[in-house]
């Protein structure tokens, strides 16, 4: 069996020669290829006309023999393994096979699109530590067009999963798909209230996708959303205390101390997740600042 791993993971495993400034504490694996879904922003979408099928967001995922990857994983300094699942035919059986093959000493997270509680139970029965159920699109009116399916069904399933498996459910939300500040912060608050770990991504245009010509969000808007999100998850402010303009833009003035600025703009995800350059170009603007073991992130970096 062959499996894709992120380029940074391949570097950490000694399988790829690559210059990398940010070491990874999490190994990123990908199961499946050419998705049955047709998300407008995804390189793995069913109808995406991407020249290379080894992309997810802007990250390259080279392919290796699973045995080679497993051998290297046993000796690598990773603190977590994260499996990104592409819903291609037979994906769930392949996913279970990979999970059973992984080193038992390393916690495993799985990011998967599903509305099946039995699949979640099967993953946790196999020892998976956390499951991410990406919402991605925070706008009810845009969800069907950009992601396919029903927004309320997806949102309700994430909440129900958190009730069934408390402390083990995460979700992803992408900023910059056409949603309003009100829409994104409202659903974030709901998920926070339900004990769901929320991770933010900035939309990244990928050539060959339906949204290849759509721009990434302005950094100042992303910082505004990150600031509100940070204050909400710390309990300093609630969604109902925020004010919005008629077009749904956040107009409440929110300030962070220098110390909080060092935390609010960091990559947020499962423990030890950094995702460096997932939605950034090396040397360009950092939307999510990767944490670096032993290093403080200075305010000037954000």
User: What are the pLDDT digits (tens) for 42-65?
Assistant: 988 999 886 555 556 567 888 999
User: What are the pLDDT digits (tens) for 62-114?
Assistant: 899 999 999 999 888 899 999 999 999 999 999 999 999 999 999 999 999 99
Does the structural domain 2-217 have CATH classification 3.40.630.10?
no
DSSP 100-153: HHS-TTS-EEEE-----HHHHHHHHHTT--EEE---B---HHHHHHHT-S-HHH
Tokens encoding 73: 């994983």
Dist CA 103 CA 106 (whole Å): 6
- Other CB atoms within a 10 A radius of the CB of residue 185 amount to 24
Beta strand ranges found along the chain (DSSP E) = 2-5, 26-31, 55-56, 59-60, 63-65, 80-85, 108-111, 130-132, 169-175, 197-202
Tokens encoding 10: 């391949």
> Is there a contact between 209 and 43 (Cβ–Cβ < 8 Å)?
yes
Q: Which of 255, 243, 260 is nearest to 181 (CA)?
A: 243
């Amino acid at each position: 069996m062959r499996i894709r791993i992120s380029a940074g993971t391949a570097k950490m495993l000694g399988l790829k020669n690559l210059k990398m400034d940010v070491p990874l504490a999490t190994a990123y694996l990908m199961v499946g290829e050419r998705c049955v879904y047709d998300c407008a922003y995804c390189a793995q979408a069913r109808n995406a006309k991407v020249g290379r099928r080894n992309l997810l967001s802007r990250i390259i995922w080279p392919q290796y023999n699973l045995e080679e990857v497993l051998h290297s994983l046993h000796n690598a300094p990773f603190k977590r393994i994260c499996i990104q699942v592409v819903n291609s035919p037979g994906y769930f059986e392949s996913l279970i096979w990979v999970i059973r093959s992984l080193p038992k000493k390393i916690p495993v997270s799985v990011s998967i699109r599903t509305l099946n509680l039995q699949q979640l139970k099967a993953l946790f029965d196999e020892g998976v530590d956390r499951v991410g159920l990406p919402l991605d699109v925070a706008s009810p009116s845009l969800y069907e067009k950009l992601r396919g399916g029903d927004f309320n069904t997806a949102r309700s399933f994430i909440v129900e999963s958190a009730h069934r498996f408390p402390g083990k459910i995460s979700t992803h939300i992408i900023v910059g798909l056409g949603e309003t500040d009100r829409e994104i912060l409202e659903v974030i608050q709901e998920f926070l209230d339900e004990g769901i770990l929320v991770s933010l991504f900035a939309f990244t245009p990928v050539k060959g996708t339906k949204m290849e010509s759509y721009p990434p969000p302005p950094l100042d808007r992303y910082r505004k959303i990150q600031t509100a999100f940070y204050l909400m998850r710390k309990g300093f402010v609630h969604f109902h205390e925020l004010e919005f303009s008629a077009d749904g833009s956040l107009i409440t003035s929110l300030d962070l101390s220098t110390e909080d600025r060092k935390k609010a703009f960091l990559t947020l995800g499962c423990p030890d997740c950094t995702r460096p350059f997932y939605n950034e170009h090396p040397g360009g603007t950092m939307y999510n600042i990767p944490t670096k073991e032993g290093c403080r992130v200075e305010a000037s970096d954000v």
